[in-house]
Amino acid sequence: MFTVGLTGGIGSGKSAAAARFRHHGVNVVDADLAARVVVQPGRPALVAIAEHFGAGVMQADGSLDRAALRKLVFDHPEERRWLEQLTHPLIREEIISSLAASASTHTAPYAILESPLLIETSQSELVQRVCVVDIPEALQLQRASARDANSVEQIRNIMAAQLPRAERCAKADDILDNSGSLEFLNAQVDALHQKYVQLATQT
């Protein structure tokens, strides 16, 4: 199925844009959700993480302590790279099966892959088009820190692990400007939806 990659840095508004695409009956596969599935209790990746990082990243019930691991990997880039080499191939496989599983259950003729690291990883090979949700970095920091328990410093570290704004926008086929209201964003998504329906039915 024709698939559009929806990307943007932390706090840019990917989830907000995805919600509007879903409103039009589009199947949205979420890479952050896939990343949670591959480290669920019972999965080999969780065992490998516990062995590598120790009991400090595990909760008493045997699930991953995400806040502890987040602090570790965004303070130490080499540990982040270790985690990525383990999980990114698994996340990619999980995304491929989610895209395939729900292909026939949605009304729109195209699907969306929502991912913060679409351009940074080989996930970009899974899409025919790239749509970037774009906001200035100061607003990104402001919205992400208003939403999350993460410190401003941690959000800065996460942003540093992602593509800079200009490089991301340079890879975009389409750009959603989310520096205004949600209504402004939704109106742009509505227009893109029409365009994607056309593109998907032409190909």
Ligand X SMILES: CC(C)(COP(=O)(O)OP(=O)(O)OC[C@H]1O[C@@H](n2cnc3c(N)ncnc32)[C@H](O)[C@@H]1O)[C@@H](O)C(=O)NCCC(=O)NCCS
Calculate the alpha carbon distances from 177 to 63, 135, 162 in Å: 37, 6, 19
DSSP character at residue 5: E
Of the pair 70, 129, the CB lying nearest ligand X is at 70
* Binds ligand X by CB under 6 A, chosen from 17, 28, 29, 31: 31
> Residue from 23, 25, 32, 56 that binds ligand X (CB under 6 A)?
32
Only segment of 100-108, 111-119, 165-173, 180-188 that touches ligand X (CB under 6 A) = 111-119
Q: Is 171 annotated as a binding residue?
A: no
Residue 73 binds ligand X (CB under 6 A): yes
Which listed option, ligand ATP, ligand X, none, makes contact with residue 143 (CB within 5 to 8 Å by class)?
A: ligand ATP
11 is in an annotated binding site: yes
Nearest to 133 by CA among 86, 186, 65, 80: 186
Q: Is 15 annotated as a binding residue?
A: yes
* Strands of the 27-30 sheet, one edge to the other: 27-30, 110-114, 2-7, 129-134, 174-177
**Cα separation of 2 and 121, whole Å?**
19
The interface with ligand X within residues 163-202 (CB under 6 A) comprises none
Q: Does 96 bind ligand X (CB under 6 A)?
A: no
**115 is known to lie in a ligand binding site:** no
How far is residue 9's CA from residue 14's CA, in Å, rounded to a whole number? 8
Classify each residue of 109-125 as buried b or exposed e, where b means 16 or more C-beta atoms within 10 Å of its C-beta.
bbbbbbbbbbbbbebbe
Among 79, 84, 137, 174, binds ligand X (CB under 6 A): 84
Supply the minimum distance, in Å, between the C-beta of residue 4 and ligand ATP: 15
What's 128's DSSP letter? S
Smaller CB separation from ligand ATP, 18 or 49 = 18
173 backbone φψ class: left, alpha, beta (φ>0; ψ -120 to 50)? alpha
Q: Which residue lies nearer to ligand X by CB, 28 or 69?
A: 69
User: Which residues contribute to the site for ligand X (CB under 6 A)?
Assistant: 10, 31-32, 35, 66, 69-70, 73, 80, 83-84, 87, 91, 115-117, 158, 161-162
